Chains A and B, each alone.
Chain A
C-alpha cells in the first residue's frame, strides 16, 4: 500500500459526459502528479500541483482540468469525453516540489468511455 488513494477504481461512462477523479496523497506529501496511461503504453504526464498551486503542465487537453484543495487532495476533471480518453489515470504524490524525491503512485482509475 503506497498510501495514495484514488477513487473510483473503475469508471464507465458515455461519450460527451464529464467525470471527476479523486486523489488523496500520502500524509505529509505536498506534491500531486497526474498521469495518463493508455493500453500497454508508458505514462504521459498531465499536470502537477504543489501545496495547492499548479507547478508544471504536460500534454493535458483543454477538456481536462485539475485542482488541489487546501487539504491537499486533488481532483482531475475530464469533460466532453471521447472514446480515446479511455485509459488508466494515475495520481502520484511526493514530499517535495521537485521530482528528485520518491513518487508514490496510487492504484489508478480505469476509465472506459463507451
Chain B
C-alpha cells in the first residue's frame, strides 16, 4: 500500500499547455516536498510546504499544500520541454523522521 498516491502516473502534453499533478494521502504530514528527477540522476528538491493551505510559486510552477495537510498539488503553466522528468512528492509525518515518497508522475513535454 502506497502511503502517498500520485496522479496521473504518466502525462504527455504539448509545449505551452498547462498541467496539474496531484499527491494524495489519508495521513497528515508535518511537511511535504516536491522533487524532480532526471534519468540517471538523483531527485532534486523543488520546494517544501509546511503550512496547511500554503501556496508557493517557483517561476511557472505553483505548489499547494492542502488545508488538512494530507494532499498537495503541483501546477505547471505553459509547460516547456525542459520540464520533462519524474516528479515525486514526499511527506514527513511529525511522529517519524523518515521521508516517504510517492510513486511519481512521469511528465513528457512535446515540442
Contact = CB atoms under 8 A, between A and B. Distances in A.
Interface of A: 2, 4, 31, 33, 35, 40-45, 48, 50, 55-56, 58, 90, 92, 97-100, 102-108
A107 B98 contact: no
Contacts of B33: 102-103
B98 A97 contact: no
Interface in B4-50: 6, 30-31, 33, 35, 40-45, 48, 50
Contacts of B30: 100
B63 interface: no
Q: Is the interface of A mostly helix, strand, loop or mixed?
A: loop
Contact of A43 (B40, B41, B101): B101
Contacts of B90: 43, 99
Interface of B: 2, 6, 30-31, 33, 35, 40-45, 48, 50, 88, 90, 92, 96-104, 106
Contact of A35 (B92, B97, B101): B101
Given A100-B30, A100-B92, A102-B48, A41 B42 contact: no
Nearest to A94: B99
Contact of B97 (A2, A44, A50): A50
Nearest to B42: A105
26 contacts: A2-B42, A4-B42, A33-B98, A35-B101, A42-B6, A42-B101, A43-B88, A43-B101, A45-B98, A45-B99, A50-B97, A55-B97, A56-B96, A56-B98, A90-B43, A92-B42, A92-B99, A99-B31, A99-B97, A99-B99, A100-B48, A102-B48, A103-B99, A107-B41, A107-B42, A108-B42
B99 A42 contact: no
